[in-house]
Amino acid sequence: MFDVRSLRGLVVSCQAPADSPLHDPVIIAALAATACQNGAVGVRIDSPEHIRAVRARLDSPIIGLWKQSHPQSEVYITPTFADARAVAESGADLIAVDATGRPRPGREHLATLIERIHNELGKPVLADVATLEEAQAAARCGADCVATTLCGYTDRTAGEPLPAIELVAALSANLDVPVWCEGGVSEPEQLALAMVRGARVVVVGTALTGIDHRVRMFVRAQTESGQ
């Protein structure tokens, strides 16, 4: 099983909206290769198709997930074991799952999901959480590391300032598993601060690979300036 404690540094999330020209597996793989060529210690990739493309090009660690919508549940990051199996079989080294306290599709339980990923797929689990309590519960369920990915994106944490540096500090003080900071990191100084406060890994996405979002920001600024 991949040693999650061996990872320390920057992980780049290489993802794109489904309607973006960047949502091509070849382009995602090129973004991932560029990130690792320039010092990233790994990449976070969504969907088996994209993971396979990145794996064919890179030996670097891949944090894999599969965003899937279910009408009966708000959980969408690798919500089921079937999704986790597809992620594992596509070449991911580490599987990210939603580990919030929200009900999962098909009434699956987090502890069972993590146990099956370990035993049947031989992969470690990154628990994406929104609160300290969720992180503690995920660790008790066997998660190998935890990330602040969903802070600000659940009803309970809506409006929380990002990046969630204080949550990083709380997780680091209360958990034995590695803590990752993800969500809202837009400046190198924020990465450095997160690591000072206890993060072993900092995941950066939109600020580096979110071209669609970044261009819209600049266009909106132009429009608002009246030019």
Per-residue pLDDT tens digits for 106-160:
889 999 999 999 999 999 999 999 999 999 999 999 999 999 999 999 999 999 9
Listed by start position, the domains of the chain span 4-225
Rounded Cα distance, 210 and 188, in Å: 16
Torsional sign, CA 34, 39, 45, 51: positive
DSSP state of 140: H
Torsional sign, CA 86, 88, 90, 92: positive
Residue 163, preceding bond cis, omega within 30 degrees?
yes
Indicate the pTM of the whole model. Answer: 0.96
The domain covering 4-225 belongs, at the CATH homologous superfamily level, to Aldolase class I (3.20.20.70)
Q: For residue 64, give the H/E element and its range.
A: strand 62-65
The mean pLDDT of 89-104, rounded to a whole number, is 97
pLDDT one-digit tens code per residue, 5-48: 999 999 999 999 999 999 999 999 999 999 999 999 999 999 99
pLDDT reported for residue 227: 75
Q: With a cut of 80, say whether residue 58 has pLDDT above it.
A: yes
Rounded Cα distance, 97 and 75, in Å: 9
Angle, helices 48-57 vs 25-37, to 10°: value is 50
Q: With a cut of 90, say whether residue 226 has pLDDT above it.
A: no
